[in-house]
Structure 1
């Protein structure tokens, strides 16, 4: 009997830790109806939280089907979201706050959101999982049209408006509208009708939405001159606004996102900030399959990680049709606007879409950068106090008063151009076995000093640069230098069919350095590019600026004739201020060219 006691105690402990399961149907949340489930989900989550204060494992399960979330009855939240429009409050769909060991399981359901909403937020939570659902809007804020005819002599295009788009013509102006929003698009992205790839050499285009005439229902004649828009071309007409992502994460720890499809969001697909440890398994920003009549997904990046730490892992995803990168990882430089004394400064968020959220904490390591040369100034220092300066609270603040453990260099003051980088909130990244295709701007963007692995992905017609290593304390104010990067086993298919910012080659190592001639140190370092396949119609493969330690080896370059070459960069390898460059074991067709500039 004595020998059975330990086993009995283990069974009791196991029972005490068993997962509690709640079903949405038990709260009256039924699929495949027109019922607004927003207030029902709010009440269900409130009840579940009230019953589970002990932090035990909880699972909330939806029955398979379609659910409609409307703004009516939704919670309002003041969220300051990195790289988004800072308009508040935001109307919420599913709000998950202060959760622990919580799983939301959609059972492969479709969550449809209406009007202008932030679909899902996960805030100040630990060890939570979101899985098995899709996010979409039946009336997205992008207006899709198909070109029926293009009379270039008259500068006149006739186009048909997609059946789901709500619009009206008012005083000759095309106005798209929905529940709580309306606007006239002025820019667009053109897609090939059959392939859903971006049209060669179009980039961002103006669209015909003023002085228009409706010649039959949903058919518009417009003064619009663009010879590349042949009949059958599909144009996603849009604006620059990005009020909310599909999923917003902040101050979370050890989060898993599994088998989630974001079909549309009016900002990023996923935006995570000030969070630690994020695992994406089968997370996608994608169309609803090959027969989806839509050609676009999100208004901006598919996934975006601002000031996170720990491991960010993105594996097995499909990213297509979005208006920016598949993934962007960075921190944010603050600019020093006033030196109070030897250990105290006032520092400010500079970009209008990046402010109002926490930047750093006591004990965080920081470093200072001269934004003209992007060189480090002084040694690593530590924060001993940090308080919002222009607001009473962090929420909405643009300026901080920061105290450092050690006196800072006398050169660091408001008369210069100096930024502060937080070294604590920098993640390790693994981006592997994903497919990125048919999107605007770039494929991926990384700006972190921690280990970054980009491995076994397919970059298929990414339109601009496939992989960008950046760093900018002048415009976007996104940190920082990459120190340990491995780009291995990837396949690149016809990148650079269009020109966007930072698109100097298929792989572009492009920190923003206004005074490169005055730079004495190097920005990036420790970059290895090996065992990749480049299939390309044009010349530039690699562009690098300000790098110490760059290896390009055992790669294969295959030339095709899918498009006419057009890029201004005629060198396969264009290197500016690069030392310790190794080029070996590569295979290529048609010879290679290397241009190096000091």
Structure 2
């Protein structure tokens, strides 16, 4: 095996260390995967060769040695057959196990995986890239795609709304069959009937105005030949000929990139063109930097109109700093970024210092929620009010499994006695404050996606600046918090939203879409809430271009500033939103709304509604 050592000049080395959080070595050993028989553009299954090469390199590298693994440029095809098999429980995803993993990097330290602009193309159902239990690692310079996406693209040929019949032409790469009267699409190792779809304008690739999630029926279908099918039960007048549909199920078995239990991770110049879940899912990680990590189409000539099945990037139970900059996030089926923790629900009070508490959402369980020494707080789920004080974990272990892997219930002992009201009867949630991150989301472009632009739910410092939110379809920025449905923590305490440009958000209605910026915690019993959920929110020096009225919605906030913003009005679409107020506030105190410029004027008496 050939290897070479590159020695870096001190200044270059220092810059590299700052960029990648690497160790103190002054040199890196380079392993070229070409020396392991891995060649591009063969169309052969590269999965077993990659797995064997990584295993060999791990065995050869001395502990603590920094290395670079080079993948020669070109296309590489990965198949589930002979791929690395792993049982991973991935936050906010379905949990089919085991998973076939294309590139599995585990228990590494100080490695750089450099794809040199390689194209990684996956087949069937796979988790493309994973990095687990690793420190000071960098992944860079490659793209991820699937040969046969699980989202089905079709174009509208004719639409007879009176008869309820629509003619669709399936995209050239779509494999399908009609069994009985039902249309099924299929790929290598999978087959399903799509149940919902998103409609795109053919020229702009934006979501069709006021279409949202389109109801569809594929159970009464006739094959017309030439990749055209006639379907009955459609009566949507918005689906004019030429409209492009992304038809899908709600399944999300695996992300494109999975990070778990890592420290100091850098992802640079990576493009995810498709994944059947999130583009990136990170859980229980400390310090993550994304630089030019994108979930995007393959340029203007890409015949596809969609990217990922769910969020572009998603961070669950992480800490340290999440830095996301210079990314392009487009045409995905959910948000560009979602940052949150996970509430456990109190199930049993064993004694004054011990609880049983459980994961509640069906897509979030089976991974570490906390560790001895962590600090937690308790919340009343009905009013989303915090109980006074914080508490330290003395010990935590799974109650329903032998290991954390797959566990839903934890036995948690605390160093001090708990309040008497921490009981299941009081519907109490548990938030881990130790595993909450600071966030910087800057210089990104978010466009043409379903649902929302970005979500932030962390009490640590959060800065959202210099981003372009371009036709995000729903709310551009959402500050949420929910201990009743999604169980995603928690309250924002220090967030600055500045120098962003918002262009025609709210072309469609989805969950939490009350305004361009929506501060919308889920509070079932707002009437009896006495404390406030969010606080310390500053929105300043932003530019809004909008065809409709609502700019800011806020609920349960103590300390809200909206100033020095400019709002331009246009006629891109007819206004349709139910919220006719520029600013709508529910249970908000200490709000400052000043020095904003509204094109056409601003009348506080009519444009601000305080409930």
Instruction: Report if TM-score (shorter chain) is over 0.5.
Output: yes
Please tell me whether residue 595 in structure 1 is matched to residue 603 in structure 2: no
Residues 15, 277 of structure 1: CA spacing in aligned structure 2 closer, same or farther, 3 A cutoff?
Answer: closer
Which residue is 1:232 aligned to?
242
Asked if 2 retains the 8 angstrom alpha-carbon contact of 1:169 and 1:175, the reply is yes
Which residue is 1:528 aligned to?
538
Which residue is 2:294 aligned to?
284
SS at match of 1:313: strand
Residues 17, 122 of structure 1: CA spacing in aligned structure 2 closer, same or farther, 3 A cutoff?
Answer: same
Q: What do you get for the CA RMSD once the two structures are aligned? A: 1.3
Please tell me whether residue 117 in structure 1 is matched to residue 126 in structure 2: yes
Asked if 1 retains the 8 angstrom alpha-carbon contact of 2:393 and 2:415, the reply is yes
**How far did residue 16 of structure 1 move?**
6.8
SS at match of 1:208: coil
**How far did residue 17 of structure 1 move?**
4.2
**How far did residue 15 of structure 1 move?**
12
Of the candidates 135, 139, 146, which is equivalent to residue 144 of structure 2?
135
Structure 1 stretches lacking a partner, 5+ long: 1-9
Task: Please give the alpha-carbon distance, in whole angstroms, between the structure 2 residues aligned to 1:50 and 1:16.
Answer: 20
Asked if 1 retains the 8 angstrom alpha-carbon contact of 2:334 and 2:450, the reply is yes
SS at match of 2:425: coil
**Aligned runs of 1:138-537 on 2, under 5 Å?**
138-223=147-232, 224-537=234-547
Of the candidates 18, 27, 32, which is equivalent to residue 23 of structure 1?
32
**How far did residue 170 of structure 1 move?**
1.0
TM-score, normalization by structure 2: 0.95
Task: Please give the alpha-carbon distance, in whole angstroms, between the structure 2 residues aligned to 1:378 and 1:208.
Answer: 51
Q: How many residues align?
A: 587
Residues 431, 15 of structure 1: CA spacing in aligned structure 2 closer, same or farther, 3 A cutoff?
Answer: closer
SS at match of 1:33: coil
1:552-571: CA deviation from partner (whole Å, max 9, x where unpaired): 11000000000000000010
SS at match of 1:475: coil
Task: Please give the alpha-carbon distance, in whole angstroms, between the structure 2 residues aligned to 1:58 and 1:209.
Answer: 52
Asked if 2 retains the 8 angstrom alpha-carbon contact of 1:17 and 1:56, the reply is no
SS at match of 1:283: strand
Which residue is 2:51 aligned to?
42
Which residue is 2:17 aligned to?
none
**How far did residue 28 of structure 1 move?**
0.9
Asked if 1 retains the 8 angstrom alpha-carbon contact of 2:540 and 2:562, the reply is yes
Please tell me whether residue 558 in structure 1 is matched to residue 568 in structure 2: yes
Which residue is 2:5 aligned to?
none
**How far did residue 217 of structure 1 move?**
2.4
Task: Please give the alpha-carbon distance, in whole angstroms, between the structure 2 residues aligned to 1:17 and 1:174.
Answer: 59
TM-score, normalization by structure 1: 0.97
Which residue is 2:20 aligned to?
none
Which residue is 2:117 aligned to?
108
SS at match of 2:342: coil
Structure 2 stretches lacking a partner, 5+ long: 1-9, 14-22
Residues 15, 262 of structure 1: CA spacing in aligned structure 2 closer, same or farther, 3 A cutoff?
Answer: closer
1:80-113: CA deviation from partner (whole Å, max 9, x where unpaired): 0000001111111000000111111111111000
Asked if 1 retains the 8 angstrom alpha-carbon contact of 2:25 and 2:66, the reply is no
Deviates more, 1:303-312 or 1:32-41: 32-41
Task: Please give the alpha-carbon distance, in whole angstroms, between the structure 2 residues aligned to 1:256 and 1:196.
Answer: 31
Moved over 4 A (4+): 13-17
Asked if 2 retains the 8 angstrom alpha-carbon contact of 1:17 and 1:57, the reply is no
Deviates more, 1:588-597 or 1:389-398: 588-597
